Structure 1
Amino acid sequence: MDKETLPRWGWLLVGLFAMGIVASLLNATVIGPAGVPEQFQVITVITAMAPVLIYVGIWYDEDRQRYWEHSREHVVGDLLFIVAGAATGSAIALVAIVGVGLPRFVQDIAAMAAGFMLSWGLFWWRNTDLYREMGER
């Protein structure tokens, strides 16, 4: 894939759209029939989209290309931390607010914020060297 084909936001949009479709298919074929309430199915979407939000930036930024020099195990471990963080953060947020009576849209936004922040925080915790130089500039 050529970085110059689309700007960063274009790759981000394509990735998020693709993962949204994958998550919706998973919800329709597995998660929904398993009996998970519809208000909790947003966790699947958030979990699928979190790696896109993190990895598009790392892939696109020239000063972060050294990340790809890590071992395959390290990258897979990071991916597992991102997925686990997104699922855990969004689930905790939803469990805390689902009975409060907030509109579904607000619940989804709160779950997205919590899931994405926890997943990025776990990624940052494992890769502080990627972001250390930003603060020193």
Structure 2
Amino acid sequence: MDKERLPRWGWLLVGLFAASLVAQLVNAVLISQGILPERYQVITIITAMSPVLIYVGVWYDEDRQQYWENPRERIVGDVAFVLVGAAVGSSIALVAIIDLGTWRLLQELVAMAAGFLLSWGLFWWRNPDLYTMETDG
């Protein structure tokens, strides 16, 4: 894929849209089978979108290209950490506040923040060298 075809925000929007479509398909199956209650469907959306938020930056930024030199197993492990972190973080937050009587939008925003923060935190924990600033001198 040509990075220059779209600006970074364009790739981010395309990725988030695709992740949203996949998450909605998964939700349709899980909800229709009775596996996931409808009020928890935001967890799959957050889980699908979190790798997009992290990896578009890693893919697009020139100073982070060394990440792609890691072994494939390492990258797959990182993706697994991101997915599990997003699912666990958003689940814990949503379960903690879902019965408090707050607006659904507020519940989903809190779950989104918790899921994204935990997933990015786990990614950073596994790859702290990607986010260190090199200083001259």
Which of the five TM-score ranges fits, normalised by the shorter chain? over 0.9
Corresponding position of 1:126: 126
Corresponding position of 1:80: 80
Corresponding position of 1:39: 39
Deviation at 1:44, TM superposition (A): 0.3
Deviation at 1:38, TM superposition (A): 1.1
TM-score, normalisation: structure 2: 0.95
Corresponding position of 2:68: 68
Superposition map of 1:1-137 within 5 A:
1-29=1-29, 31-35=30-34, 36-133=36-133, 136=135
Unaligned runs of 5+ in 2: none
TM-score, normalisation: structure 1: 0.95
Unaligned runs of 5+ in 1: none
Aligned counterparts of 1:49 and 1:99: Cα–Cα separation in 2: 25
Letter in 2 for 1:33: S
Number of positions where the alignment pairs a residue of Structure 1 with one of Structure 2: 135
Aligned counterparts of 1:73 and 1:51: Cα–Cα separation in 2: 16
Deviation readout 1:9-46 (Å, 9 max, x if unpaired):
000000000010110011012x1023221111110000
Aligned counterparts of 1:48 and 1:34: Cα–Cα separation in 2: 20
What is the percent sequence identity of the aligned residues?
66
Poorly superposed stretches of 4+, deviation over 6 Å:
none
Aligned counterparts of 2:38 and 2:107: Cα–Cα separation in 1: 12
